[in-house]
A and B are shown apart, each in its own frame.
Chain A
């Protein structure tokens, strides 16, 4: 692998598996009964989900007062979690759309899974703005529709842009995902033996018949969707960052936010994909589909985006000093040395220092090490949002209105519960749908494409 001909493309799938065996391997989890490990995992995530249900029940019954939010820290865990989970989603679209446009074939093994994660992460993220309004059953007013009050939403507000960005993102991701699934569902339809499965797969594969007249349009649509999803994913976290950057709170009001938020989102998203994939490839024996090479490439992207995030932190510090604005300077000193210094330094260690280990090839290819680093990155990125939101709000311009934020048990329950919600979806997904795209993987196996011959 290390020597020789660089013009020849490396194969992305190890060995030269038979196409039929790939079908078998990938659809195996769907055709076998879940084993004990699955039920243990599911019971854990369901217990966590239970905490979410209780936390939300308390919140809805007694109100937002159950949270640690106060005045001036009106946004705390709720919005931290929102930004965190939206960010997690970004890796999926990056893998499925941006890497597709760059013709990175190694994405085929992980794209389906990452897209699934995008959708579940956006589900999870979407919970938070809704519960943050306190009375989520009135959330319909977020959308502009002609109503009996003859009121309209404020189209110049970043919060409203968020509504559009996140709901568009969810819809387009779902469409993209479903379009990718149609041929796979048709494969499952052909393999299905029980009548009920056959009916379900026939319904959802819509009668796909592998026709090349269809493949031609299908590939076109895939390209178009990728072309739209790419600017879309960039716009989503840009708009999320506008929620902060458009305001005048010190530490928020900066133009670096959009690129730095997008880089952070990709960073944390890749870390989450890495964590989950390492487990999945182990459990389902996908080691030759999701290869070490693929994992290494993902580590390289984490190194890149992690360094961009580190640059963002440095630039924030520099600009606050260089701007000469007292409130800005204070905010950053306060972040590093104030009451939340522990959070700031957790963030720096996890986000800036730990990914730098990926400069070493040995570490990039060592599965246990990268698993731990990816967890660190997730922790760090959660704290990044915490630092940005809570430190800025708790001490803004007017010292008389400063207040400290301490989370309550309900805050913590909802945070843990959001992980339960996300991972329950993931677990059900691994048993309900092929977690690797059979069609895409088959297309990149050695020998799957005609040899180029001169005419």
Chain B
């Protein structure tokens, strides 16, 4: 425990703005560094009188403002052109003019928040209610209608007698010593106080409780659940309206779905092989579709490279390789017949693949065949 009080500063009170400006000027001139002027409102010209360097907060605003702009631009670009590329209103995925409003708002928001936070918490080191000037008569006066100067005891030039004389010569109306508050100096912040821990616990329980209740219970209560239970027929539901009791209806007889033209050569694979011509040209796009469909539907049995190396580990009879002379000599139409009708234990793929997709798969199988049986001439 300290019994002696430690001096913080010597303070003087002045009655008029002219006197304080003059005093500040003189004290700065004498070379004091750790002094401050306290006024109820900003007094014009005081920064010059005290010889303060210009405020640096402008740079904070500049840096955070520009990073806001750039950050907004980058995230808008990433969201709308990369992560979620959806064409809306015929605009290009990256439509810069449409980003300007949001970029502007983000700039203003980040610059304003950053500048104010920097001022309060970095420049001023607020909150600080334990400063020695707090709770003094001096503070009461300068908050209302007086003007004060305080020179800190840790200023290298601090000398009580000299400063007292200086203040008197400047017509100070009051001169006062201010000491550190021992209680505040010795006070230690304890984070692990039981009260604080209890508060944390209560906050955790309450927030998780409310979150759980509102997400898992409240949203399923009236009226929040009204959109979930709608008076409509869902797929696969029973229906009382139709005789057959099905909610879903069959298409009208003779309806042909897009991409599913009926197949004329059922049970006649050789005829199909003669008559059918592959209408899908070999192109990057069609090969890509073919690859995707092949990898999805065919590769489990025939293997990624169509070598008959199935991934089914004997759970299903191993299919033949598609690189056999037989298959390579087959026409596209003949393979089409296999995919459409199935062959022995290989099932039909008509319900999974559209006509065009089947042709694309065949193009891809051709590409695989050619890759595995490359000729000298293919290298050129």
Q: Give residues in A with beta carbon < 8 Å to B.
A: 18-20, 23, 60-61, 63, 135, 137, 144, 150-152, 154-158, 160-161, 164-165, 168, 171-172, 175-176, 179, 183, 186-187, 189-191, 202-203, 206-221, 224-225, 228-229, 231-232, 235, 239, 242, 439-440, 442-443, 447-451
Q: Which of B37-56 contact A (CB under 8 A)?
A: 37-47, 50, 52, 55
Nearest A residue to B21, CB-CB? A450
Is there a chain A Cβ closer than 8 Å to B128's Cβ?
A: yes
Chain B residues with CB under 8 A of A189: 143
A144-B79, A179-B116 known; A220 vs B105 contact (CB < 8 Å): no
Distance A216 CA – B56 CA, assembled complex (angstroms)? 10
Chain B residues with CB under 8 A of A160: 102
Is there a chain A Cβ closer than 8 Å to B88's Cβ?
A: yes
Chain B residues with CB under 8 A of A442: 40-41, 145
Partner of A210, one of B39, B57, B109, B124: B39
A212-B42, A450-B17 known; A221 vs B119 contact (CB < 8 Å): yes
Distance A168 CA – B124 CA, assembled complex (angstroms)? 25
Nearest-neighbour CB distance to chain B for A198, whole angstroms, equals 10
Nearest A residue to B149, CB-CB? A212
Chain B residues with CB under 8 A of A154: 86, 88
Chain B residues with CB under 8 A of A450: 17-18, 20-21, 43-45
Distance A231 CA – B100 CA, assembled complex (angstroms)? 13
Interface string of B16-48 (1 = CB under 8 A from A): 011011001000000000001111111111110
Distance A150 CA – B79 CA, assembled complex (angstroms)? 11
Chain A residues with CB under 8 A of B95: 156
A221-B115, A221-B119, A224-B58 known; A19 vs B40 contact (CB < 8 Å): yes
Nearest-neighbour CB distance to chain B for A80, whole angstroms, equals 22
Please state if A440 and B127 are interface contacts (CB–CB under 8 Å): no
Distance A60 CA – B109 CA, assembled complex (angstroms)? 32
Nearest-neighbour CB distance to chain B for A20, whole angstroms, equals 5
Interface string of B313-342 (1 = CB under 8 A from A): 000000000000000000000000000000
Chain B residues with CB under 8 A of A19: 40, 144-145
CB-CB nearest 4 A-B residue pairs: A19-B145, A156-B98, A443-B41, A207-B128
Provide 7 A-B residue pairs closer than 8 Å at the C-beta atoms, listed in order of the A residue. A165-B105, A168-B108, A172-B109, A175-B116, A206-B128, A211-B37, A231-B104
Partner of B52, one of A157, A216, A439: A216
Please state if B106 and A164 are interface contacts (CB–CB under 8 Å): yes
A221-B116, A235-B105 known; A449 vs B134 contact (CB < 8 Å): no
Chain A residues with CB under 8 A of B42: 212, 215-216, 218-219, 443
A214-B124, A219-B42, A235-B101 known; A155 vs B131 contact (CB < 8 Å): no
Chain B residues with CB under 8 A of A175: 112-113, 116
Nearest-neighbour CB distance to chain A for B156, whole angstroms, equals 18
Partner of A212, one of B18, B43, B219: B43
Chain A residues with CB under 8 A of B311: none
A164-B102, A224-B57 known; A209 vs B41 contact (CB < 8 Å): no
Nearest-neighbour CB distance to chain A for B211, whole angstroms, equals 13
Distance A229 CA – B109 CA, assembled complex (angstroms)? 10
Chain B residues with CB under 8 A of A137: 219, 224
Please state if B140 and A235 are interface contacts (CB–CB under 8 Å): no
Is there a chain A Cβ closer than 8 Å to B61's Cβ?
A: yes
Chain B residues with CB under 8 A of A20: 144-145
Please state if B40 and A439 are interface contacts (CB–CB under 8 Å): yes
Chain A residues with CB under 8 A of B40: 19, 187, 210, 439, 442
A152-B80, A155-B98 known; A213 vs B36 contact (CB < 8 Å): yes
Distance A191 CA – B124 CA, assembled complex (angstroms)? 23
Nearest A residue to B219, CB-CB? A137
Is there a chain A Cβ closer than 8 Å to B99's Cβ?
A: yes
Nearest B residue to A217, CB-CB? B55
Please state if A207 and B131 are interface contacts (CB–CB under 8 Å): yes
Nearest-neighbour CB distance to chain A for B117, whole angstroms, equals 9
Distance A216 CA – B141 CA, assembled complex (angstroms)? 20
Please state if B129 and A202 are interface contacts (CB–CB under 8 Å): yes
A217-B124, A220-B55 known; A210 vs B142 contact (CB < 8 Å): yes
Nearest A residue to B20, CB-CB? A450
A156-B89, A449-B44 known; A209 vs B80 contact (CB < 8 Å): no
Distance A54 CA – B253 CA, assembled complex (angstroms)? 55
A152-B83, A164-B101, A165-B101 known; A61 vs B116 contact (CB < 8 Å): no
Please state if A207 and B108 are interface contacts (CB–CB under 8 Å): no
Which of A60, A137, A172, A242 gathers the greatest number of chain B CB atoms within 10 Å? A172
Is there a chain A Cβ closer than 8 Å to B84's Cβ?
A: yes
Partner of B18, one of A172, A221, A451: A451
Distance A3 CA – B268 CA, assembled complex (angstroms)? 112
Please state if B143 and A212 are interface contacts (CB–CB under 8 Å): no
Please state if A212 and B46 are interface contacts (CB–CB under 8 Å): yes
Is there a chain A Cβ closer than 8 Å to B227's Cβ?
A: yes
Please state if A190 and B45 are interface contacts (CB–CB under 8 Å): no
Please state if A210 and B105 are interface contacts (CB–CB under 8 Å): no
Nearest-neighbour CB distance to chain B for A143, whole angstroms, equals 12
Please state if B119 and A235 are interface contacts (CB–CB under 8 Å): no
Nearest A residue to B148, CB-CB? A210
Is there a chain A Cβ closer than 8 Å to B91's Cβ?
A: yes
A206-B128, A215-B46, A217-B57 known; A187 vs B144 contact (CB < 8 Å): yes
Please state if A210 and B52 are interface contacts (CB–CB under 8 Å): no
A190-B144, A228-B111 known; A216 vs B47 contact (CB < 8 Å): yes
Nearest-neighbour CB distance to chain A for B87, whole angstroms, equals 10
A151-B84, A186-B143, A450-B44 known; A206 vs B105 contact (CB < 8 Å): no
Distance A439 CA – B219 CA, assembled complex (angstroms)? 49
Please state if B134 and A218 are interface contacts (CB–CB under 8 Å): no
Nearest A residue to B80, CB-CB? A155
Please state if B41 and A439 are interface contacts (CB–CB under 8 Å): yes
Please state if A448 and B17 are interface contacts (CB–CB under 8 Å): yes
Distance A225 CA – B95 CA, assembled complex (angstroms)? 30
Distance A156 CA – B144 CA, assembled complex (angstroms)? 52
Nearest-neighbour CB distance to chain A for B129, whole angstroms, equals 4
Partner of B104, one of A23, A60, A179, A235: A235
Interface string of B54-79 (1 = CB under 8 A from A): 01011001000000000000001001
Is there a chain A Cβ closer than 8 Å to B166's Cβ?
A: no
Is there a chain A Cβ closer than 8 Å to B251's Cβ?
A: no
Is there a chain A Cβ closer than 8 Å to B248's Cβ?
A: no
Chain A residues with CB under 8 A of B297: none
Chain B residues with CB under 8 A of A150: 83-84
Nearest-neighbour CB distance to chain B for A205, whole angstroms, equals 8
Is there a chain A Cβ closer than 8 Å to B126's Cβ?
A: yes
Please state if B41 and A211 are interface contacts (CB–CB under 8 Å): no
Nearest A residue to B84, CB-CB? A152
